[in-house]
Structure 1
Amino acid sequence: MSRIDLHLHTTHSDGSQSPAEVVRLAHEAGVSALAITDHDITTGLPEAITAGQELGIEIIPGIEISSRHGESELHVLGYFLKWEDAQLNARLMTLREGRHRRNPKIIELLQAAGIDITYDEVRAVAGSDSVGRPHIARVLMEKKVVTTAKEAFDRFLAEGKAAYVPRDLPAPVDAIGWIKDAGGLAVLAHPTWVKTPEGTLTDLARQLKGQGLDGVEVHYSTHTPRQTRAYLSLAKQLGLLVTGGSDFHGMTKPDIEVGTGKGSLHVPDHLLPKLKDAVARL
């Protein structure tokens, strides 16, 4: 059975592989269609589309937008976007500008902790306009301050740690609206990450559906079989589309592979026609 992967990151945001390299890895993994979902930026899509044409893989234009839900982040995936839309890209620019305001503050805190690091070094590693904490983690790894990206977050960069700085983020309704305005489908990413009181994820998903949410990421690299069944039931109960993806990043998530996640991920290709039918009705 063919597989798809609808959640992948490249060097245009916080991944360590170029769009063409990600497509090549997808081809090797037997992926028939994939979505590049870089954070707050769409500049990797032309390269991915070209590589997909060469290897016979369908490339779905995507995005991942972070929003603020209470005291935590809620991520929204967008699919089949009019990715060259001027209004969408102006909105995404505001998020990248927010990162550029935040990142130097993180660097200052790391410097105050006695670590020799500059923002210029981080931007050089990033290589694009979408610069985030994973790039800071990579510089800390290169300087041998830490051995893994996870250690960098656990010691310095995660919420509550010494160099954590919160981000200015839109509300979920706004992130959904940006995607819908660009002609795309809006999907709740990795629901296990969403911090809600016990038993209230359904209520939140119902609220988000009322604000335009189209689907939920049921199949995901770190979901247990029980979680996958629960999110599948949630999608069925609320009439939401089902999607799935590896959330491949490369170096910063070295245990996650394109198409197969941690080894057992399988996002069936029969989900794709339902997504296409839904976007055709928008």
Structure 2
Amino acid sequence: MAQYDFHFHSTYSDGSTTLQEIFNKAKGKGIKALAVTDHDTSLNFPEMKILSKAYGIAYIPALELTVVEQGVKLHVLAYGLNKESEELYAYSTNLKNYLDHKSHKQISILNSKGINISPEEFFKQSKGGPLYRAKLLYTLALHGYLKVDDIMVSLPKYFGKDGMCYVEDTYNFMNFKEGCKFIKRNGGKVVLAHPGKIKKKKEELYNDLIRSSYLDGIEVYHTDNDEEVKKELRDICLKKDLRITGGSDSHGIFRKKFIDIGDMELPQEVVESLKDLFATVM
């Protein structure tokens, strides 16, 4: 059984599981340390600190930052962040406000098409974070408009460019360089998330990023990295003395292929790469 997990999501972003449920599950699985890497938010940090102490499980203050490079939206993991950073809090709050406003537009469109569910009912599913797309569809499922098992495959039907409640994304995300500087400025270590996904989208960009001087580490162990990619990434990390990281990337039920917290076995080298960033459990 895996004793660590350094990449997964809670209801503070696009996961289906609350932090309380995560720590309950982690305790039951014997997980010793974890990192909840919610998208673009540090709003979970205060609750993480409380639960870490209550359950005796070490954690790393972390998040997964969205950046856009060469027209490709991608993610950068940030580990060991300053828990008290005002800049992180402001960024998290501003993006949440933007996403909440976008969700209100989407709900209005659904209401205009005869789906009579109040915004308040939808936002019950936000649970600390924005009302990400899967959460919105989960509300529809609770009201019988689709099956829970069909949530992830229904995303294009509702949110694609020809989708039922499509609203254009106008948020100005940072580019890769800006994102890396933002993370470092706030005490974090920069790790390229699931590079295998980037390679599938744009191999030239993948080649540039995995050799970037801004990286402190690379996520080698991820289900989207095939064995060839893993070997290439691990070799680069060893050659450049970069941190080797990994995790389940669990989103609870909000993932096409279900994977639970702690389901991915991580080699000891991942723990060794990150253990200096563990927040002390008092």
1:9 and 1:249 in contact (8 A); partners too:
yes
Alignment of 1:53-72 (within 5 A): 53-72=53-72
Pairing 1:217–2:219 present = yes
Distance 1:72 1:197, change over 3 A: closer
Normalising by the residue count of structure 1, what TM-score does the alignment of the two structures yield? 0.83
CA contact 1:106–1:163 (8 Å) conserved in 2 = yes
CA distance in 1, matches of 2:50, 2:181: 29
Q: Could you tell me which residue of structure 2 aligns to residue 99 of structure 1?
A: 99
Kept after mapping to 2: 8 A contact 1:140/1:152: no
Distance 1:192 1:139, change over 3 A: farther
| 1-structure distance, mates of 2:162, 2:93 | 27
Q: Percent identity?
A: 29
Spell out the pairing of 1:96-245 with structure 2 (5 A cutoff).
96-111=96-111, 114-147=114-147, 148-158=150-160, 161-164=163-166, 165-168=168-171, 169-194=173-198, 196-206=201-211, 209-210=212-213, 212-236=214-238, 239-245=241-247
Q: Structure 1 residues 71 and 115 mapped into 2: Cα distance closer, same or farther (>3 Å)?
A: farther
The aligned counterpart of 2:261 is 258
C-alpha separation in 2, matches of 1:249 and 1:85: 26
Q: Deviations over 1:210-256 (max 9, x none)?
A: 3x322221112444434433432343455432111112222313711
Residues 118 and 64 of structure 1: CA distance in aligned 2, closer, same or farther (over 3 Å): farther
Q: Quick one: distance in 2 between partners of 1:89 and 1:122?
A: 24
Instruction: Give the whole-Å Cα distance in 1 for the aligned partners of 2:240 and 2:107.
Output: 43
Task: Write the distance in 2 (CA, Å) between the matches of 1:34 and 1:2.
Answer: 11
The answer to whether the 8 Å contact 2:210/2:233 transfers is no
CA 1:162–1:231: 2 relative to 1, 3 Å: farther
Verify the 8 A CA contact 2:6 2:36 in the aligned structure 1. yes
Q: 1:162 and 1:225, CA in 2 relative to 1: closer, same or farther beyond 3 A?
A: farther
Q: CA deviation at 1:196?
A: 4.3
Superposition deviation, residue 81 in structure 1:
0.8
For these two proteins, the number of residue pairs brought into alignment is 272
Instruction: Give the aligned residue type for 1:259.
Output: G
* Residues 160 and 6 of structure 1, relative CA distance in 2, 3 Å threshold: farther
Matched with 1:270 is: 269
CA distance in 2, matches of 1:226, 1:133: 33
Q: Give 5+ residue unaligned stretches, structure 1.
A: none
Contact 2:246 2:266 in 1 (8 A): yes
Stretch moving more, 10-19 or 240-249: 10-19
TM-aligned CA distance change 1:69 to 1:116, over 3 Å: farther
Counterpart Cα distance in 2 of 1:152 and 1:14: 15
Aligned pairs (5 A) from 1:67-82: 67-82=67-82
Sort the Cα spacing of 1:53 and 1:241 in 2 relative to 1 into closer, same or farther, 3 A.
Answer: same
1:175 corresponds to which letter in structure 2?
A: G
The answer to whether the Cα contact below 8 Å between 1:179 and 1:185 also exists between their aligned partners in 2 is yes
The Cα offsets for residues 128-166 of structure 1, whole Å up to 9 and x where unpaired, read as: 243322221211222232223212313222466443432
Q: Determine the C-alpha separation between the residues in 2 that align with 1:38 and 1:270.
A: 23
Sort the Cα spacing of 1:187 and 1:159 in 2 relative to 1 into closer, same or farther, 3 A.
Answer: farther
How far the C-alpha of 1:126 sits from its partner, in A, is: 0.7
Distance in structure 1 (CA, Å) of the matches to 2:106 and 2:241 = 41
Report the Cα distance in structure 2 between the residues aligned to 1:266 and 1:155, rounded to whole angstroms: 35
For the aligned residues, what is the CA RMSD? 2.8
Q: Structure 2: which 5+ residue stretches go unaligned?
A: none
